[in-house]
Amino acid sequence: MLARGSTNWILVPLLIGIVAISFSYYLVAAAFICLTVFLVVFFRDPERTPRGDGMISPADGVVMHADKKVTISMNVHNVHVNRAPLPGVVKRIEYRKGGYLPAFHKDSDRNERNNITIETEYGDVEVTQIAGILARRIVCYVNEGDMVERGQRIGMIRFGSRVDVTIPDEFVVSVNPGDRVKVGESMIARRPG
């Protein structure tokens, strides 16, 4: 399965590659066919099933920070579709333009970002999509007032980025910096007991 809105990104280089073959520009064709393969891999959106009953990861990647907020760094090899960590209602969406520093950089707070606040039965959970050095577009799939299920697709960040998610007080973080997590599948926090 491919991410929503990815068809044109994939078809354009594929068509250029086919046209290049028809004019015997094999080197150009090979470059565009390789680009097409890269984009198919990048825009993949596999089905995922949550493991356990806790809060699931909103992103693929490596955990950079794990406390009352979990920060996940995504690279070009990760799935870039983001998912709701808990069920609830989308209370607020705040988009802010900004720069494109590396997502792990200390000044990345000035980067382009989209903050999705989900009102859950445990309190508000904020999922913040942050563009990185290669990312040039944050796409939001939900609107304010939408009901979302745990694991539902809520957006995507194109070409490398970071996702931050706040942890409700009733939950205990179950990941550590350096852990690899899978979007919609890995548990990042659980309720004790």
Domains of the chain: 7-42 (no CATH), 55-190 (2.70.70.10)
Residue of 135 and 11 predicted with greater confidence: 11
Q: Per-residue pLDDT tens for 125-153? A: 999 998 876 556 788 999 999 999 999 99
Catalytic residue among 6, 108, 161, 186: 161
**In 42-63, which positions are buried (b, 16+ CB within 10 angstroms) versus exposed (e)?**
bbebeebebeeebbbbbbbbbb
Confirm if 106 and 93 have CB atoms less than 8 A apart: no
User: What average pLDDT does this structure show over 79-90?
Assistant: 95
Position 157 scores a pLDDT of: 87
3-state DSSP call for residue 82? strand
Q: Residue 103's pLDDT band (boundaries 50, 70, 90)?
A: low
The pTM of the full predicted model, rounded to 2 decimals, is 0.84
User: What average pLDDT does this structure show over 75-96?
Assistant: 93
Q: Residue 24's pLDDT band (boundaries 50, 70, 90)?
A: confident
Cα pseudo-dihedral 150, 68, 136, 154, rounded to 10? 10
Distinct helix (H) and strand (E) counts, the chain:
2, 14
pLDDT at position 159 over 80: no
Strand 81-83 with 153-158, pairing: antiparallel
Q: Per-residue pLDDT tens for 26-39? A: 899 999 999 999 88
At 45, which amino acid appears?
A: D
Whether 161 is catalytic: yes
Confirm if 95 and 114 have CB atoms less than 8 A apart: yes
